[in-house]
């Protein structure tokens, strides 16, 4: 018999819900079958912890006396530019923002030691952050300069708002060229020297609910060690990616936009990182509970690493030039074994997303639900699905000066 | 026969003196220089892998110390700051000696074996949270 989220929440409140991780459900479904598993298990917890560039935070730092309007002016947080194009004292800081005087890749590959992601981590860690504002001054906001320390505890609102997280599957990056290259998937040694992948595979949220039957707008999630919600589909959302028979996409597919109170998060799970030669980005921890409402959902959450295929892509040529070429397909069991075969060569693998920490998050969320501290929400709207869902398009470039 | 990896720290007044060659000449040791940096007016550092009879290695190290050279095991050089590490594994396919490795393929825990480390420092910059430190 199918369950409802309301029924599951009643069990959670009574401390009677049966909750397992996306790893543990695999054996249960193998032994008992999906129908029986759907009867016995109420919630399966999924998780991921990896670099997610389209992340950032907005906050309101409060009005100074006299007042200043950062909007239309310039603001720096520990030297990193924040977006000011809002009202007087709201700012948005993105993970990949860099100080103006960062040398970037002038001496290649650049270090990118400190950027927006590190500012966000420092705020979450409760460290003082230097805020510098230059404004043009108005009759109502006369002040033109502000240079002050701020701290997350004094901010009116501090909100993590990430426009694209939790990618459903991702490329495996390799380098066919003769020199080392530096990418957002890490340092790639020449001539297929290594292969880097970036997904928690069988633990990853959207790979466990491939058609987003339970995940939608309003789904309550574990975000950065605190509480967050799915706000919208993420950017570059692509439900049309090719899928295997089990419904799991074989290419980068659907994504989530997520939002949550930065004040409740932890610097362990909201962590600034730097990719040499590429830039800064934010490691974000996300856990998504999947209510096991029926047999079909139980079958989907039992997906194993060996059932999830992904594409091996050359990041020296095919990726940067936007060519669709794929060097082959591998599964996550092969990737996690430490070695894959590409073009007849054995290539050592590295994960960029932390499987170990994804396990920690899935376990933490499981315990919170078991203790009745985390209730599930009913989604308030579906994310786009079916043939009418928007297609993910490349830029239709229309050069202003075609001769240039 | 035994092999040891050591770091030699030369005080600045010693860096113009030939010292290391005595390891070959007087103690019959084979050495492979893994890394060396000697700058005028500063201390010199040299990471060595020495191979020979254990007793001769000990005598050779004693000789170096008598010359005013500080001798430390190489494992002190590279340290992983585990509080900073995000346990991703970006380092493991970069490390040429598998000193950085996946301890358990079920949990995918990243670990470090200082005995295998040759202090090449290839891992330092590719580490996204910059959790690997060089200590001399």
Q: Check pLDDT > 90 for residue B135.
A: no
Q: Check pLDDT > 90 for residue A33.
A: yes
pLDDT for B12 equals 80
Inter-chain CB proximity B110 and A356 less than 8 Å: yes
Residues near A257 by Cβ (< 8 Å), separated by ≥ 6?
A: A161, A162, A163, A164, A165, A230, A231, A232, A233, A234, A235
Please indicate if any CB of chain B lies within 8 Å of the CB of A309. no
Instruction: Read off the pLDDT band of A24 (50, 70, 90).
Output: very high
pLDDT for A327 equals 98
Instruction: Read off the pLDDT band of A219 (50, 70, 90).
Output: very high
Q: Can you tell me the distance from the alpha carbon of B62 to that of A31, in angstroms, rounded to the nearest whole number? A: 64
* Cβ–Cβ under 8 Å, residues A16 and A122: no
Phi-psi region of A62 (alpha: psi -120 to 50; beta: other; left: phi over 0): left
Instruction: Provide the sign of the torsion angle of the four alpha carbons A319, A321, A324, A325, taken in this order.
Output: negative
Domain ranges (residues) in chain B: 2-74, 77-136
- Concatenated DSSP letters for A172-190? EEE--SSS-EEETTEEE-T
Distance of residue B108 Cα from the nearest chain A Cα, in angstroms: 5
Average pLDDT over residues A32-54: 98
Parallel/antiparallel/unpaired status of strands A80-82 and A74-77: antiparallel
Instruction: Read off the pLDDT band of A34 (50, 70, 90).
Output: very high
pLDDT for A2 equals 80
* Cβ–Cβ under 8 Å, residues A234 and A163: yes
Q: Check pLDDT > 90 for residue A110.
A: yes
Average pLDDT over residues A345-374: 98
Mean pLDDT of chain A: 97
Write out the residues of chain B at the interface with chain A, using a CB-CB cutoff of 8 A: 86-94, 102, 105, 107-110, 125-126, 128-130
Q: Can you tell me the distance from the alpha carbon of A87 to that of A90, in angstroms, rounded to the nearest whole number? A: 6
Of B87, B92, B128, the CB nearest to A275: B128
Q: Check pLDDT > 80 for residue A83.
A: yes
Domain ranges (residues) in chain A: 5-50+166-370, 56-160
pLDDT for B136 equals 63
Q: Check pLDDT > 80 for residue B77.
A: no
Topology of domain B2-74, CATH: Alpha-Beta Plaits (3.30.70)
Task: Work out the angle at residue A393's Cα, subtended by the Cα atoms of residues A391 and A395, and round it to the nearest 5 degrees.
Answer: 160
Residues of B in contact with A50 (CB under 8 A): 88
Give the nearest chain A residue to B108 (CA atoms): A356
Average pLDDT over residues A56-65: 98
pLDDT for B75 equals 61
Instruction: Read off the pLDDT band of A118 (50, 70, 90).
Output: very high
Give the nearest chain A residue to B83 (CA atoms): A268
Average pLDDT over residues A218-225: 98
Q: Can you tell me the distance from the alpha carbon of A159 to that of B13, in angstroms, rounded to the nearest whole number? A: 58
Residues of B in contact with A200 (CB under 8 A): none
Phi-psi region of A293 (alpha: psi -120 to 50; beta: other; left: phi over 0): alpha
Inter-chain CB proximity B109 and A356 less than 8 Å: yes
Tokens encoding A115: 């950027």
Topology of domain B77-136, CATH: Alpha-Beta Plaits (3.30.70)
pLDDT for B11 equals 85
Give the end-to-end CA distance of chain B in Å, rounded to a whole number.
Answer: 28
Q: Check pLDDT > 90 for residue B15.
A: no
Average pLDDT over residues B50-65: 92
Give the nearest chain B residue to A203 (CA atoms): B107
Q: Can you tell me the distance from the alpha carbon of A53 to that of A298, in angstroms, rounded to the nearest whole number? A: 31
Distance of residue A180 Cα from the nearest chain B Cα, in angstroms: 11
pLDDT for B34 equals 85
* Cis before A66? omega within 30: yes
Please indicate if any CB of chain B lies within 8 Å of the CB of A249. no
Inter-chain CB proximity A113 and B130 less than 8 Å: yes
Q: Which of B132, B113, B92, B44 is nearest to A351 (CA)?
A: B92
Helix H or strand E segment including B31: strand B30-38
Q: Check pLDDT > 90 for residue A269.
A: yes
Of A186, A336, A357, the CB nearest to B90: A186
Check residue B75 and report its DSSP letter: G
Distance of residue A118 Cα from the nearest chain B Cα, in angstroms: 10
Decide if B2-74 and B77-136 have a common fold. yes
Inter-chain CB proximity A271 and B107 less than 8 Å: no
Distance of residue B38 Cα from the nearest chain A Cα, in angstroms: 24
Inter-chain CB proximity B86 and A274 less than 8 Å: no
Better pLDDT: A361 or B33: A361
Among B81, B93, B133, which would you mutate to test the A interface (most chain A Cβ atoms within 10 Å of its Cβ)?
B93
Inter-chain CB proximity B129 and A283 less than 8 Å: yes
pLDDT for B118 equals 84
Inter-chain CB proximity B88 and A338 less than 8 Å: no
Average pLDDT over residues A97-124: 98
* Cβ–Cβ under 8 Å, residues A354 and B88: yes
Please indicate if any CB of chain B lies within 8 Å of the CB of A125. no
Average pLDDT over residues B73-78: 73
SS3 content of chain A, % helix, strand, coil (to 5): 20, 30, 50
Average pLDDT over residues A18-35: 98
pLDDT for B40 equals 67
Inter-chain CB proximity B126 and A276 less than 8 Å: yes
Inter-chain CB proximity A186 and B128 less than 8 Å: yes
Convert the pLDDT of each residue in A156-189 to its tens digit.
999 999 999 999 999 999 999 999 999 999 999 9
Within 10 angstroms of residue B27's Cβ, the number of other Cβ atoms is 20
Residues of A in contact with B109 (CB under 8 A): 356
Inter-chain CB proximity A50 and B91 less than 8 Å: no
pLDDT for A211 equals 98
Q: Which of A215, A82, A100 is nearest to A158 (CA)?
A: A82
pLDDT for B19 equals 87
Interface predicted TM-score of the whole assembly (ipTM), two decimals: 0.95
Distance of residue B83 Cα from the nearest chain A Cα, in angstroms: 9
> Would you name the residues of A annotated as active-site residues?
140
């Amino acid at each position: 018999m199918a369950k409802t989220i309301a029924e599951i929440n009643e069990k959670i409140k009574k401390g009677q819900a049966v909750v397992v991780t996306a790893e543990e459900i695999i054996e249960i479904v193998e032994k008992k079958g999906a129908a029986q598993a759907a009867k016995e298990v109420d919630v399966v917890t999924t998780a991921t912890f990896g670099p997610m560039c389209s992340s950032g935070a907005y906050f309101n730092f409060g009005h100074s006396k006299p007042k200043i309007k950062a909007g239309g002016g310039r603001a720096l947080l520990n030297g990193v530019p924040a977006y000011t194009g809002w009202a007087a004292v709201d700012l948005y800081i993105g993970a990949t923002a860099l100080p103006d005087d960062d040398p970037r890749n002038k001496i290649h590959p650049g270090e990118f030691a400190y950027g927006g992601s590190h500012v966000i981590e420092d705020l979450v860690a409760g460290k003082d952050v230097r805020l510098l504002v230059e404004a043009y001054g108005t009759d109502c906001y006369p002040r033109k300069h502000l240079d002050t320390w701020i701290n997350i505890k004094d901010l009116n609102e501090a909100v993590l708002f990430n426009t694209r997280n939790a990618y459903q599957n991702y490329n495996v990056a390799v380098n066919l060229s003769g020199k080392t290259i530096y990418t957002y998937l890490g340092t790639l040694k020449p001539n297929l020297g290594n292969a880097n992948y970036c997904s928690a595979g069988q633990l990853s949220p959207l790979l466990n609910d491939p058609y987003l039957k339970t995940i939608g707008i309003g789904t309550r999630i574990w975000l950065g060690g605190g509480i967050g919600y799915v706000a919208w589909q993420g950017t570059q959302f692509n439900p049309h990616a090719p899928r295997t028979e089990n419904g799991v996409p074989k290419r980068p597919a659907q994504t989530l936009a997520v939002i949550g109170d930065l004040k409740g998060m932890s610097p362990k799970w909201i962590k600034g990182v730097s990719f040499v030669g590429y830039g800064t980005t934010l490691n974000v921890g996300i856990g998504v509970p999947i209510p096991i409402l029926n047999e079909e959902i139980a079958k989907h959450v039992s997906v194993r690493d060996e059932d999830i295929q992904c594409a091996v892509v050359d990041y020296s040529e095919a990726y940067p030039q936007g060519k669709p070429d794929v060097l082959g397909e591998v599964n996550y069991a092969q990737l996690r074994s430490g070695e894959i075969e590409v073009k007849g060569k054995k290539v050592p693998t590295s994960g960029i997303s932390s499987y170990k920490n994804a396990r920690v998050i899935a376990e933490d969320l499981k315990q919170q639900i078991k203790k009745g501290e985390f209730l599930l929400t009913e989604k308030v709207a579906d994310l786009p699905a079916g043939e009418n869902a928007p297609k993910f398009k490349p830029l239709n470039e229309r050069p202003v000066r075609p001769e240039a | 026969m035994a092999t040891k990896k050591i770091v030699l720290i030369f005080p600045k007044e010693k860096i113009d003196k030939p010292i290391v060659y005595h390891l070959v000449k007087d103690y019959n040791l084979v050495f492979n220089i893994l890394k060396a940096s000697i700058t005028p007016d500063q201390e010199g550092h040299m990471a060595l892998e020495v191979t020979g009879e254990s007793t001769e290695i000990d005598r050779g190290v004693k000789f170096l110390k008598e010359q005013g050279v500080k001798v430390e095991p190489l494992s002190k050089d590279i340290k992983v700051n585990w509080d900073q590490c995000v346990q991703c594994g970006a380092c493991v396919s970069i490390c040429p000696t598998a000193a950085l490795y996946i301890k358990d393929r079920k949990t995918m825990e990243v670990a470090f074996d200082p005995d295998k480390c040759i202090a090449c420092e290839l891992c330092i910059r590719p580490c996204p949270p910059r959790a690997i430190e060089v200590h001399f």
